[in-house]
């Protein structure tokens, strides 16, 4: 997947590029610039941003079955540099579905980046002939639930632990 320009709130131009195996430090920096609460909502438990097992999982994956893209600002300087958000789509092995996840750096939330990342992910899903994408989202992650619903996401019954819900977005291909 080549780099691509996107436009978010107030005409800000960002670039999307595939996550690379050498992005561990950049993902740690994204985590350090995010609130502990935002990290917990994304990873379902408290995490400390550091290079290790989690960054390996996020950078070293089967690229034929897993798409992961980072958003960054090519014109950024100082604290605005680095990865601003990430979207992932993991393709199912046995049905035309995928599981998605999105995280926007805390200081970048509220400017339309999550919305644009969702749009991009849905294009990939449709291009691959998927009929549905789904996500497991913490029940209290109201921003992510609102975003999924804005794209037709249907919240399904809570999981057994009552901390998460399943969200499905049916795609018209």
The per-residue pLDDT for 159 is 65
The per-residue pLDDT for 21 is 93
Q: Give the residue numbers spanning the domain of 75.
A: 4-170
Cα dihedral 156→159→164→165 (10° resolution): 0
Cα dihedral 28→80→140→18 (10° resolution): -60
* Percent with pLDDT over 90 in the chain: 75
Dihedral sign from CA coordinates of 35, 49, 108, 152: negative
Query: What's the token pair of residue 63?
Result: 């690229």
Query: What's the token pair of residue 37?
Result: 């609460």
Mean pLDDT of 27-37: 94
Query: What's the token pair of residue 74?
Result: 């090519």
Mean pLDDT of 6-16: 93
Write down the pTM of the prediction.
Answer: 0.91
Whether 47 shows a pLDDT value over 60: the answer reads yes
CB count in 10 Å sphere of residue 53 = 8
Domain count, the chain: 1
Task: Find the CATH number of the domain harbouring 154.
Answer: 3.40.630.30
- Count of H helices and E strands in the chain? 5, 8
- What is the secondary structure of 122-147 as a DSSP string? HHHHHHTT-SEEEEEEETT-HHHHHH
Strand stretches in 35-96, DSSP E = 66-72, 83-91
The per-residue pLDDT for 173 is 54
Backbone angles phi, psi at 118, to 5 degrees: -65, -45
The per-residue pLDDT for 41 is 92
């Amino acid at each position: 997947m080549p780099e691509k320009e996107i436009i978010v709130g107030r005409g800000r131009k960002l670039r999307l590029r595939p996550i690379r195996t050498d992005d561990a430090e950049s993902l740690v920096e994204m985590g350090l610039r995010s609130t502990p609460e935002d990290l917990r909502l994304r990873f379902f438990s408290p995490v400390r941003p550091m290079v290790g097992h989690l960054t390996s999982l996020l950078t070293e994956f089967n690229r034929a079955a897993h798409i992961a893209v980072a958003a960054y600002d090519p014109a950024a300087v100082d604290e605005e540099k680095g990865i601003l958000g990430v979207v992932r789509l993991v393709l199912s092995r046995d049905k035309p579905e995928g599981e998605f996840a999105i995280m926007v750096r805390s200081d970048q939330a509220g400017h339309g980046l999550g919305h644009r990342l969702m749009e991009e992910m849905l294009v990939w899903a449709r291009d691959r002939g998927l009929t549905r994408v789904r996500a497991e989202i913490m029940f209290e992650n109201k921003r992510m639930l609102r975003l999924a619903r804005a794209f037709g996401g249907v919240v399904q019954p809570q999981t057994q632990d009552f901390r998460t819900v399943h969200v499905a977005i049916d795609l018209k291909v």
